[in-house]
């Protein structure tokens, strides 16, 4: 599939917009009213520290809405203002945040329904307006919307587009893209659609498995069973692992992506030697700044001698889950919640989601006496939600 040609024809159709409709000032005002918080602004000014009574809160020095998410949400709102009467759809949740998605739903911006992972575009009519989310859409979805002559409002974050350019480069130079990500995540599904031959690896353990195979220590059937859902059609590990390039889902754990990149470079160096490495390995840095900053801030926060940590963000948000992993690795009792309603002031309880588990209710989660709580939030979480959580903690400790 000539993905470049398809993209070019969509972008020059006259029914494509990736800039939005309003000025930066109008945009900032509209978002500020809905999502910013004076409390959080004052905590930021006070060295990210808040104290009241026996409660001390340390906020991560980088948290919450990233530039790409802010832009996507603002574009979605202004799309409704620009098209007040049209049917407006989104190919997915605009970002992984329930309050933002509910807000859009109240504005009658609808999400295209899906069953068993397959979207049903039949309700989208010719000429409808369709918003592509911050993490993008597959090239097949874009083509379908183009054929339906929809107005496409593309909020794909430029960092995600950068990953797509990377896998396009791999394809052009007949390298297989090794994508560090979750094979079912919407962003990775989109990246896969732009790639030529590809293999998605979830973590270092899977990268080691692939490396072993490259070094001649694997079984082809077992390999194909393991990666059946995570590789391109017709993938043959004996052919398609000879020339590889690494790319990633922008929200993966930065340190792991770097380790996986170095690991594959070493593997190819060992197999083909330094003189031939450029024929067998390509590396590009596609980790986004916002993900990196939030993870670095979390690594500092866990050194603050905290009693507990609250990580706020959508349960299906990859970047939030990785923040939670950092807390766990550092043995800090941590609670991942998506909205402030998960905390009950009356019962001093929190309904939180441990990694790879269903929701769990923890009673008396704030102990007696002085307590120091660390707080961070994922890139899809507005400051207002963080402020609501802090207000609840204040109420419990009063
Ligand atoms: S986390 Fe990074 S890639 Fe994702 S929307 Fe924000 S800036 Fe863009």
Return the best residue to mutate from 159, 161, 190, 313 for the ligand 1 pocket (most ligand atoms within 8 A of CB).
159
- Mean pLDDT, consecutive 10-residue segments, the chain of 398 residues? 90 95 85 86 97 97 92 94 95 87 93 88 95 95 96 96 95 96 94 97 96 95 97 97 95 90 95 95 83 94 97 92 95 96 97 95 96 95 95 96
User: Would you state the torsion angle of the CA atoms of residues 236, 184, 132, 245, taken in this order, to the nearest 10 degrees?
Assistant: -40
Nearest CA to ligand 1 atom 8: 68
In order of 196, 224, 237, 240, the CA distances from 233 in angstroms are 9, 11, 12, 11
Q: Is the CB of 315 under 6 A from ligand 1?
A: no
Domain with CATH 3.40.50.11270 in the chain: 67-157
Q: Is the CB of 157 under 6 A from ligand 1?
A: yes
Residue 220's closest CA among 201, 241, 205?
241
Query: What was the pLDDT predicted at 344?
Result: 98
Query: What was the pLDDT predicted at 28?
Result: 80
Q: Is the CB of 160 under 6 A from ligand 1?
A: yes
Say which DSSP state 231 is in: B
Query: What was the pLDDT predicted at 116?
Result: 81
Q: Which CATH class is domain 159-287?
A: alpha beta
Does the domain at 67-157 match CATH 3.40.50.11270? Answer given as: yes
Q: Is the CB of 163 under 6 A from ligand 1?
A: no
Nearest CA to ligand 1 atom 3: 159
Name 51's bridge partners.
56
Active site residues: 187
65 CA distance to ligand 1 middle (Å): 9
Chain centroid offset of residue 376 CA? 16
Annotation: CATH topology of 33-66+290-397: Cobalt-precorrin-4 Transmethylase; domain 1 (3.40.1010)
379 CA distance to ligand 1 middle (Å): 7
41 CA distance to ligand 1 middle (Å): 22
291 CA distance to ligand 1 middle (Å): 7
Helices (H) and strands (E) in the chain, counts: 15, 19
Q: Is the CB of 291 under 6 A from ligand 1?
A: yes
Domain with CATH 3.40.1010.20 in the chain: 33-66+290-397, 159-287
135 CA distance to ligand 1 middle (Å): 8
| Cβ 179 vs Cβ 167: under 8 Å | yes
Ligand 1 atom nearest to 69, measured from its CA: 5
C-alpha 29/C-alpha 23 separation (Å) is: 10
């Amino acid at each position: 599939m000539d993905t470049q040609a398809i993209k070019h024809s969509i972008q020059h159709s006259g029914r494509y917009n990736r800039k939005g409709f309003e000025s930066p000032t109008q945009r900032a005002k509209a978002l500020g009213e809905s999502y910013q918080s004076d409390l959080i602004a004052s905590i930021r000014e006070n060295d990210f520290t808040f104290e009241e009574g026996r409660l001390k809160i340390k906020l991560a020095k980088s948290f919450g809405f990233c530039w790409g998410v802010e832009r996507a949400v603002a574009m979605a709102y202004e799309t409704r203002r620009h098209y007040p009467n049209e049917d407006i759809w989104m190919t997915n949740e605009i970002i992984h945040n329930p309050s933002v998605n509910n807000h859009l739903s109240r504005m009658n911006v609808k999400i295209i329904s899906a069953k068993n992972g397959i979207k049903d575009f039949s309700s989208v009519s010719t000429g409808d307006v369709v918003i592509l989310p911050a993490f993008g859409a597959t090239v097949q979805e874009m083509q379908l919307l183009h054929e339906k002559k929809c107005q496409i409002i593309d909020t794909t974050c430029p960092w995600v587009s950068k990953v797509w350019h990377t896998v396009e480069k791999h394809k052009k130079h007949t390298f297989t893209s090794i994508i560090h990500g979750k094979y079912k995540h919407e962003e990775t599904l989109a990246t896969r659609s732009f790639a030529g031959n590809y293999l998605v690896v979830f973590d270092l353990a899977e990268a080691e498995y692939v490396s072993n195979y490259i070094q001649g220590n694997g079984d082809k059937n077992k390999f194909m069973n393991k990666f059946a859902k995570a590789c391109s059609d017709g993938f043959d590990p004996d052919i398609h692992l000879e020339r590889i390039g690494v790319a990633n889902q922008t929200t993966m754990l930065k340190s792991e992506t770097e380790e996986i990149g170095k690991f594959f470079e070493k593997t190819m160096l060992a197999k083909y030697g330094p003189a031939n490495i450029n024929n067998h390995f390509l590396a590009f840095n596609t980790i986004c700044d916002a993900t990196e900053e939030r993870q670095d801030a979390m690594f500092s926060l866990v050194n603050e001698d905290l009693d507990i940590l609250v990580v706020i963000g959508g349960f299906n948000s990859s970047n939030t889950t990785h923040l939670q992993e950092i807390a766990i690795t550092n043995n800090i009792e941590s609670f991942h919640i998506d909205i402030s309603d998960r905390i009950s002031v009356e019962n001093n309880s929190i309904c939180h989601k441990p990694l790879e588990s269903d929701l769990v209710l923890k009673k008396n989660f704030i102990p007696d006496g002085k307590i120091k709580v660390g707080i961070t939030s994922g890139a899809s979480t507005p400051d207002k939600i963080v402020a609501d959580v802090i207000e609840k903690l204040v109420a419990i400790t009063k």
